[in-house]
Amino acid sequence: MSQSAAQPDPLNAALQDIDFSDPRMFQRNNWHGYFARLRDESPVHYQAESPFGPFWSVTRFADIVAVDSNFEDFSSEPTIVIGDLDDDMPLEQFIAMDPPKHDVQRKAVQSAVAPQNLAQMEALIRSRVADILDQLPVGETFDWVEKVSINLTTQMLATLFDFPFEERSKLTYWSDMATAAPEVSGGDADPEERQAALMDCLATFTRLWHERKGTERSSLDLISLLQKDPNTEDIVDKPMEYLGNLILLIVGGNDTTRNSATGGVLALNQNPGEYDKLRADQSLIPSMVSEIIRWQTPLAHMRRRATRDLELNGQQIKEGDKVVMWYMSGNRDERSIDNPNDFIIDRNNPRHHIAFGFGIHRCMGNRLAEMQLRILWEEIMQRFSHVEVIEEPRRVLSNFVNGYEELKVRVHPV
């Protein structure tokens, strides 16, 4: 069961010998076979030992929807990743709260990403995307993750927070540090560096809070929204709650869209027939965006805790048990999605995927994510007939973030 051991054979190993929390499955992108077996043989599966303690894996689409939409039996407290809370840094964030506190805090910031506000931002996002693409080195091999995906999402985050634009790379750094703790997601961040990064994040945003207090600002600025809402106007006095929600918004707007912005390039290169379809008909972009998000599923899981003894798909779950919903498995479940392992940009009903989660914790920024990716692809297709993948990507070591460190590409102008 140790994660230093070799990975077991996905087809023939006994299920109890497989560690479904092993982050190498995601780094090596070989999770498909393991989780296909769980869906078929043990869809609600108990693993007694893991580096994160005992946990249940829920792997079928319908079972995930049932757990995700049942916030009374499946609590999001105290945290929503497989690893437990860091005692030195007990972040509090609304994604890891149950009603009623969850509802109050989410409502304070939700309107920032409501579609009527997004429409006002579209021109700004488009001009920033255009700048990013116009500066790409045509004729050279370069890293799409760095030059496009990170650049795009970091600029977006800086816009949403009205964060000093020239310092925006700090947002990405804090986001990476927040999710890369070994005890949280099996990542490889140094604990001291992580703590220092998060404290720097808190100090920076505390300063911004006080600078911003009492000034009139755009309603799109998340800090000002927190200040304006009576339920959160004092959140700066509760540092772990302020920091926790900042990290939630930063990670939520960063890792997710970043990795879908990379995953789309990879998926089209692996499926040249679909790339041809896109070249022939760019009105497919909105449906392709949903398909990219499903295919990538940038967050691999969310975890819950059972609040009582209950039965789920024939298994007896005890009060207090950790229950992990594997979203990337649900999105490959042929019981709910036709030909789930195929990337099909004109799929019927492409929005019917589980990457945003379901229930009250469903991704708040889902429309923003879709808009960013839609604009990105509209602008890519104006400029490049082919974003050509040059070598296999390097992937993130994490059982939570299903993403990329590097994707080497060349761009070919139209």
Residues that bind other proteins (CB under 8 A): 65, 68-71, 99, 103, 106-107, 110-111, 113-116, 349, 351-352, 356, 358-360, 362, 364, 366-367
Question: How far apart are CB 110 and other proteins at their closest, in Å?
Answer: 5
Task: State how far the alpha carbon of 212 is from the alpha carbons of 117, 224, 283, in Å.
Answer: 20, 7, 42
Residue closer to other proteins by CB (options 240, 360) is: 360
Give Cα 268 distance to the centre of its chain: 20
Smallest separation, CB 301 to other proteins (Å): 17
Query: What's the closest the beta carbon of residue 180 comes to other proteins, in angstroms?
Result: 29
For the CB of residue 243, give the shortest distance to other proteins in the complex, in Å.
23
Q: Tell me whether residue 264 or residue 350 sits nearer to other proteins (CB atom).
A: 350
Q: How far is the CB of 119 from other proteins (least distance, A)?
A: 9
Measured from the Cβ of residue 86, the count of other Cβ atoms closer than 10 Å reads 16
Q: Contact 236/242 with Cβ under 8 angstroms?
A: yes
Nearer to other proteins among residue 212 and residue 367 (C-beta)? 367
Nearer to other proteins, 65 or 265 (CB): 65
For 381, phi and psi rounded to 5 degrees? -70, -25
- Tokens at 238, concatenated: 């509760």
Which residue, 101 or 408, is less far from other proteins as judged by CB? Answer: 101
Residue closer to other proteins, measured from CB, 67 or 407:
67
Token reading at 133: 């693409």
**Least distance from C-beta 114 to other proteins, angstroms?**
5
CB of 107 to other proteins, least distance (A): 7
Q: Is the peptide bond before 340 cis (omega within 30 degrees of 0)?
A: no
For the chain, the first-to-last Cα distance in angstroms comes to 51
- Alpha-carbon gap, residue 377 to 290, rounded angstroms: 12
Burial class (CB within 10 angstroms; exposed 0-12, middle 13-18, buried 19+) of 200: middle
Q: Are 96 and 79 in contact (CB under 8 A)?
A: yes
Match 């690893």 to its residue by tokens. 83
Please report how close the Cβ of residue 64 comes to other proteins at its closest, in angstroms.
10
Q: Closer to other proteins at the Cβ: 73 or 379?
A: 73
Residue (115 or 164) nearer to other proteins, CB: 115
User: Omega into 393 within 30° of 0, i.e. cis?
Assistant: no
Tell me if 321 sits within 8 A of 309, measured CB to CB: no
What are the φ and ψ backbone dihedral angles of 264, each rounded to 5 degrees?
Answer: -60, -40
**DSSP letter (8 states) at residue 299:** B
Provide the Cα torsion 45, 46, 49, 53; round to 10°. 100
- Report in angstroms how near the CB of residue 359 gets to other proteins at its nearest: 5
Q: Which burial class, exposed, middle or buried, applies to 296 when counting CB atoms under 10 A from its CB (0-12, 13-18, 19+)? A: buried
Of 93 and 262, the one with the shorter C-beta distance to other proteins is 93
* Residue 291: CB minimum distance to other proteins, A: 13
- What does the DSSP assignment read for 358-393? -STTS-TTHHHHHHHHHHHHHHHHHHEEEEEE-SPP
